[in-house]
Structure 1
Amino acid sequence: MTEDKAFSTVLPDWLKLPHAERGNRIGLFGGSFNPPHSGHQLVAETAMKRLDLDQVWWLVSPGNPLKDHSELEPQEQRIRNVERLSDHPGMRVTGHEAVLGTSYTAETLACILARRPGVRFVWIMGADNLASFHRWQNWRSIASAVPIAVVDRPGASLSVMSAPFARVFARHRIDETDAVTLPGLKPPAWVFLRTRLDAASSTNLRKLRRK
């Protein structure tokens, strides 16, 4: 038994990195999901369908370094909430970032790519996150590591093209009619996917919970 497999056997399932075969097309959907909601579900399902993905991995982070953690629910509880929401055979939910000990997406992504060679990964994000993407640590390296799918969210459609990411990587954007080709493209490559809009937000849900 390899050291990696031996280590994996002592972990609870929710902390393990999901299985994948070489050549699989897998979307990585990261976030705090505090709490997860139907808008997250729509983003994941849109990416899975439009990119023809084999799986979507929801990477539930221990905590976003750019956000206040005072109202952050325990990671395992958020994972259970995501599992109930993402009830689909192609959806996988993991808190493996806590095992890796990484705090930033660029670090997490590098570890996953090293552990799952030969897999065609795509980073998935809601368009509402694109405006602040340039504040993420090593954001350019993320765009250079994997293709990126940006899924429309309420209030974000008109501002997407003015985001620093969109300007810097403008020539690497593909038309959404070619979205199915994204997982096979050499990064940097990205696409903006339009879809129906769902106004649910974690911020508003936490406000309602406080009331």
Structure 2
Amino acid sequence: MAIGLYGGSFNPPHAAHRMVAETALEKLGLDRLWALVTPGNPLKDNRALPPAANRMAAARALLDNPRIVVTDVEAGIGAARTFEVVRHLKSRAPDVRFVWVMGADNLASLHGWGRWRELAGLTPIAVVDRPGGTFAPLSSRAAAVLRRSRIDERDAAGLAHMEPPAWAFLHGRRLDLSSTALRGRGASL
């Protein structure tokens, strides 16, 4: 089984989150995608973060697809970093082929994530293009470090079965939405 892991605060969830999830399901040939609603982001101010139960309910309503599971596994295991979550899941399900899924905007800041190099060595990564997020992320520090591990998008259907480090940059439909911009316009849960 191949499962995409798509983490985020989903504050609030929006149509671009759905597009990233659907692009990953389609291009990677995944059996499932798990939307991991984080209890907080160590790189952001979490003081105004709505309760996880509210964000999970909103994400479930948005990502209404039988192949998508919305979960708070990160809170359940007490993990604070993506690497810890992926390591835990891989140890609990060694026969599952996981792929970390993220929007291209996150590739630009990946080098600031705790243990990001170890994450890249633990599971393949799929980066889904976002408006205004194509060229800067591909020129980022993490992209430069992982340059030799990038596979062609035409081979992305096999990414889950590749030994890490391996990553692909995926193109598809794009919406110019972000949770930050929506919150700036007063959107909330």
TM-score (norm 2): 0.97
State how 1:1-211 maps to structure 2 within 5 Å. 24-209=1-186
Aligned residues of 2:15 and 2:175 also touching (Cα < 8 A): yes
Runs of 4+ aligned residues of structure 1 deviating over 3 Å after TM superposition are: none
User: Residues 63, 132 of structure 1: CA spacing in aligned structure 2 closer, same or farther, 3 A cutoff?
Assistant: same
> CA shift at 1:210, angstroms?
6.6
The root-mean-square deviation of aligned C-alpha atoms, in Å, is 1.2
Matched residue SS, 2:108: helix
> CA shift at 1:160, angstroms?
2.3
User: Residues 198, 113 of structure 1: CA spacing in aligned structure 2 closer, same or farther, 3 A cutoff?
Assistant: same
Q: C-alpha deviations, 1:108-147, integer Å up to 9, x for none?
A: 1111111111100000000011111000000000000000
Identity %, equivalent residues: 51
Distance 1:197 1:131 in 2: 17
Distance 2:131 2:75 in 1: 31
The amino acid of 1:34's aligned partner reads N
Instruction: Could you tell me which runs of 5 or more consecutive residues in structure 2 were left unpaired when the two chains were aligned.
Output: none
Distance 2:74 2:144 in 1: 30
> CA shift at 1:71, angstroms?
2.1
Distance 2:137 2:111 in 1: 13
Instruction: Could you tell me which runs of 5 or more consecutive residues in structure 1 were left unpaired when the two chains were aligned.
Output: 1-23
Distance 2:167 2:67 in 1: 22
Distance 2:120 2:48 in 1: 30
> CA shift at 1:196, angstroms?
2.1
Distance 1:26 1:101 in 2: 21
Matched residue SS, 1:49: helix
TM-score (norm 1): 0.87
> CA shift at 1:78, angstroms?
0.3
Say how many residue pairs are matched: 188
Aligned residues of 2:108 and 2:138 also touching (Cα < 8 A): no
The amino acid of 2:14's aligned partner reads H
